[in-house]
């Protein structure tokens, strides 16, 4: 392809020449890039110079967001003349190298992941917002939550079409057609989902310790204020180093990174940029808690709308919210339950450990789903002595099976009464 036919301003051309090279010219800072040799058995790294024009435009939107869609760009909504993105964040700041890095929020799995189910015609259910979404929807949600845009391109908007063309082209790098069609067949090292720290749910984060580590290991590049207080890195085209908080450029409270354990694993896998993999689990968790501390300015995104609906099976989605999810609607009674036991509920959600809250929610879901709580063991549908025995054992073991009444987590007469009531009433 002849680049000049795209009439790209010279400053962008400069970037393109260095597109997948080691250095985009900012103070010697590298980008997080795919290790193409290590990926070769299942993925062939794509060469953007051979891409069709619309794919190339999608790549520019994704990788050079600031100077195309962003405040420095000339791609604006035709009706309002406003830029598509008002922050200086680039999609690639999180979707490393335009979504081609394992565990770096890649997009090669996305076309298969969001394909409509042939039976229902619907894409996968997105629980935080309670709807079935397709690939375009997932881009829209990221515009709203990751980029803090008030508005996202419509599905037939040329910007959206180019982004989706680009994402499909990235997916075409998957060698095996079966893996390309079914992303769950990808090898684990492809990291199509975000990384995680084993056992992190039972750990506890210390944001103060994290502040010290941040100053030592991160502030050199990300700035002490991340740059949170509004050091607006406009005029630097692609963001030199992305902002980790800030009321304009930080990711929003509705973004996946606002979950501290999720951010921790991502940091541990990819940062510090020059020495990834050197942070311990605890270090990464503490730093993430410092970055996500509630006193930091950060836009809201769609946070307030999340987990406020019932799932299709009638269960309030707030009960299936990950225990470390800081925003969105709360299930009634849950906060009271923990606070009445002397737990600081907000601190628990913020800094963990998260296992107790997760267990409480799971037990409550079970309770709501199980219309016949006394029917504990097979044969199901029949209430007999085996169920009585199972209840007694579960009650003595303080097992969730016997935790049939509020307060959940406490085994008392109310649970026995609930069992007897259900036993006498019989199963439907």
Span from 199-207, 240-248, 292-300, 413-421 in contact with ligand HEC (CB under 6 A): 240-248
Least separation in angstroms between residue 158's CB and ligand HEC is 14
Q: Does 147 bind ligand HEC (CB under 6 A)?
A: yes
186 binds ligand HEC (CB under 6 A): no
Tell me if 211 contacts ligand HEC by CB under 6 A: no
Residue number with CB closer to ligand HEC (108 or 419)? 108
- Enter the tokens of residue 420: 């007897």
Instruction: Rule CB under 6 A: say whether 241 interacts with ligand HEC.
Output: yes
Phi, psi for 25 (deg, rounded to 5) = 95, 5
Q: How far is CA 322 from CA 148, 263, 291, in A?
A: 22, 14, 19
Q: Which of 66, 109, 282, 317 binds ligand HEC (CB under 6 A)?
A: 109
Listed ranges 6-14, 15-23, 251-259, 349-357: which one lies at the site for ligand HEC (CB under 6 A): 251-259
Rounded to whole angstroms, the Cα distance separating 322 from 122 reads 24
The residues in 283-322 that bind ligand HEC, with binding defined as CB under 6 A, are 287
Overall size of the chain counted in residues: 428
Does the protein bind ligand HEC through residue 259 (CB under 6 A)? no
8 or 218: CB nearest ligand HEC: 218
How many positions of this chain bind ligand HEC (CB under 6 A)? 47
Binding to ligand HEC, residues 18-47 (CB under 6 A): 29, 31-32
Residue 257 CA to residue 356 CA, distance in Å, equals: 22
* Residue 390 CB burial class (10 angstroms; 0-12, 13-18, ≥19): middle
Rule CB under 6 A: is residue 221 a binding residue for ligand HEC?
yes
- Cβ neighbors of 89 (< 8 A, separation 6 or more) are 65, 66, 70, 146, 147, 239, 242, 243, 249, 251
Q: Is 226 left (phi over 0), alpha (psi -120 to 50) or beta?
A: left
- Minimum distance between the CB of residue 113 and ligand HEC, rounded to whole angstroms? 5
Going from the C-alpha of 373 to that of each of 208, 392, 426, the distances in angstroms are 44, 13, 10
Q: Which is nearer to ligand HEC, 159 or 405 (CB)?
A: 159
Cis bond leading into 353, ω under 30°?
A: yes
Q: Which residues contact 246 (CB under 8 A, 6 or more apart)?
A: 225, 226, 227, 228, 229, 230, 296, 297, 298
Q: If binding is defined by CB under 6 A, does position 92 make contact with ligand HEC?
A: yes
Closest separation between CB of residue 177 and ligand HEC, Å? 19
> Using the rule CB under 6 A, is 194 a contact of ligand HEC?
yes
Is 159 a binder of ligand HEC (CB under 6 A)? no
Q: Does 233 bind ligand HEC (CB under 6 A)?
A: no
User: With binding defined as CB under 6 A, does residue 62 bind ligand HEC?
Assistant: yes
Query: For residues 253 and 303, is the Cβ–Cβ distance under 8 A?
Result: yes
Footprint of ligand HEC (CB under 6 A):
29, 31-32, 62, 65, 89, 91-96, 105, 107, 109-110, 113, 138-139, 142-143, 146-147, 163, 167, 193-194, 217-218, 220-222, 241-242, 244, 251, 255-257, 266-267, 271-274, 279, 287
């Amino acid at each position: 392809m002849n680049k000049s036919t795209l009439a790209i301003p010279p400053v962008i051309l400069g970037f393109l020449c260095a597109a997948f090279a080691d250095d985009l010219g900012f103070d010697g800072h590298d980008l997080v890039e795919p290790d193409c040799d290590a990926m070769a058995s299942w993925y062939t790294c794509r060469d953007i110079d051979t891409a069709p024009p619309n794919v190339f435009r999608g790549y520019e939107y994704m990788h050079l967001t600031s100077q195309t869609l962003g405040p420095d760009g000339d791609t604006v909504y035709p009706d309002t003349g406003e830029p598509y993105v008002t922050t200086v964040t680039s999609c690639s700041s999180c979707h490393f190298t335009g979504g081609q890095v394992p565990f770096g929020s890649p997009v090669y799995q996305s076309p298969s992941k969001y394909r409509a189910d042939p039976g229902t015609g619907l894409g996968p259910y997105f629980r935080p917002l309670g709807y079935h979404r397709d690939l375009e929807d997932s881009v829209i949600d990221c515009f709203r939550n990751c980029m803090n845009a008030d508005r996202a391109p419509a599905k037939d908007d040329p910007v959206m079409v180019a982004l989706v063309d680009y994402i499909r082209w990235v997916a075409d790098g998957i060698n095996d057609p079966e893996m390309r069609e079914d992303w769950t067949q990808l090898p684990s090292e492809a990291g199509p989902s975000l990384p995680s720290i084993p056992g992190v749910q039972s750990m506890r984060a210390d944001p103060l310790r994290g502040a010290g580590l941040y100053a030592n290991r991160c502030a050199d590049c990300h700035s002490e204020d991340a740059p949170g207080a509004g050091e607006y890195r406009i005029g630097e085209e692609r963001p030199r180093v992305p902002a980790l908080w800030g009321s304009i450029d930080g990711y929003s409270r509705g973004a996946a990174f606002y979950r501290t354990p999720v951010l921790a694993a991502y940091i541990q896998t990819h940062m510090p940029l020059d020495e990834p993999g050197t942070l311990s689990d605890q270090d990464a968790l503490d730093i993430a808690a410092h970055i996500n501390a509630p006193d930091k300015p950060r836009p809201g995104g769609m946070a307030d709308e999340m987990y406020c609906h019932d799932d299709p099976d009638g269960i309030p989605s707030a009960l299936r919210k990950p225990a470390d999810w800081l925003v969105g609607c709360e299930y009634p009674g849950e906060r009271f339950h923990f606070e009445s036991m002397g737990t600081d509920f907000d601190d628990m959600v913020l800094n963990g450990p998260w296992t107790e809250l997760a267990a409480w929610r799971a037990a409550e879901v079970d309770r709501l789903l199980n219309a016949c709580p006394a029917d504990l063991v097979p044969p199901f549908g029949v209430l007999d002595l085996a169920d009585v025995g199972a209840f007694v054992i579960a009650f003595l073991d303080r097992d969730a099976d016997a935790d049939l009444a509020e307060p959940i987590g406490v085994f008392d007469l109310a649970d026995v009464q609930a069992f007897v009531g259900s036993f006498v009433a019989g199963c439907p």
